Amino acid sequence: MRSTPASPPDALRRRLLRGLATAILGVGLLGLSLPALADGPWQRLDAARSVLGDTPPHTEGLVLDLPLVSEDGSAVALTVGFEGRLAEGDYIERIDLFASDNPSPEIASFHLTPMSGKPEISTRVRLNETQRVIAIATSRQGEQFATAREVRVTVSGCLMRGDDAPPEPLSNARVSVPSRFTAGQPEEVRTLINHPMETGLREGANGETLPRHIVERFRVSLNGETAFEAELHQSISANPYLRFHLSPEAGGEAVFEWRDDRGESARHEASFELG
């Protein structure tokens, strides 16, 4: 039995389908690595994209440690650190943190120097609901790294009621800093200060919204030179806690300074030696 030749429309349709399949396969093979790098929650958050720009970040090297589940979203422990490799002479100069589904996504921006010693920072953050926390690290020479972790939140940390008569803001500064450093060896420093870090979203006992009142800046200087600095936002928990590292180049004096959005400030001084 002689087969009937395909009509011109059928043949054309098959050629078009074959061409389309080839094009899709080619794009998939040639472009596989780019989407893998570019696709991440940082690409879907405007605040994070404003830090990254148009260049896809590296997705290895930056580590974000958070609990998988938090029963209290008002104080979620967070540690971010860099464990990757950089070019000789380069160092991590900035680390930005974001909460993708908080009313305001910015958590904090940390500015590091060679005197910071080690790019690892711990703090406590507020999370409004189950969401992803995003970290972006930028090196002095412009290398960028990104990572994200999902945290399941049982009770909202931004809107929950709390104590309407907190301790006096910027009081009782507590600083743990070594009295002696070893040259070239980063040492851990911890700070804590009383402050409500009021988001401007929470209702007080009378049902009225409490006004926003947060610590906005924290700075550490060694012998008059900035060694570590932080820009804090309303997603930082009440009584801001920070753990970071210092590696001074000479003995002398360390000054710790906090400033809030009402212009109030606090200061703590500590002397140290270099062994």
- Give me the half-sphere count of Cα atoms (radius 13 Å) on the Cβ side of residue 158: 19
Q: How far apart are CA 35 and CA 22, in angstroms?
A: 19
Torsion of Cα atoms, 153 then 155 then 156 then 162, to 10°: -140
Closest by CA to 162, choosing from 263, 265, 67, 239, is 239
Domain limits for position 253: 42-274
User: Does the CA dihedral 248-125-53-61 come out positive or negative?
Assistant: positive
Number of Cβ within 10 Å of residue 43's Cβ equals 14
Q: How many domains does the chain have?
A: 1
Is residue 250 one of the residues assigned to a domain?
Answer: yes
Reading the chain (275 residues) residue by residue, the pLDDT tens digits are: 444 444 444 544 555 445 444 443 343 433 433 334 457 999 999 999 999 998 899 999 999 999 999 999 999 999 999 999 999 999 999 999 999 999 999 999 999 999 999 999 999 999 999 999 999 999 999 999 999 999 999 987 665 545 556 679 999 999 999 999 999 999 999 999 999 999 998 887 888 889 999 999 999 999 999 999 999 999 999 999 999 999 999 999 999 999 999 999 999 999 999 98
Question: 119: Cβ–Cβ under 8 A, 6 or more apart, which residues?
Answer: 81, 82, 91, 92, 95, 112, 137
Is residue 15 one of the residues assigned to a domain?
Answer: no
The token pair that represents 212 in the structure block: 């926003």
Is residue 73 one of the residues assigned to a domain?
Answer: yes
Is residue 264 one of the residues assigned to a domain?
Answer: yes
Closest by CA to 246, choosing from 138, 119, 135, 61, is 119
Is residue 195 one of the residues assigned to a domain?
Answer: yes
**CATH code: domain of residue 139:** 2.60.40.10
Taking the model in full, what pTM does it have? 0.84
Is residue 114 one of the residues assigned to a domain?
Answer: yes
Is residue 207 one of the residues assigned to a domain?
Answer: yes
The token pair that represents 121 in the structure block: 């920072």
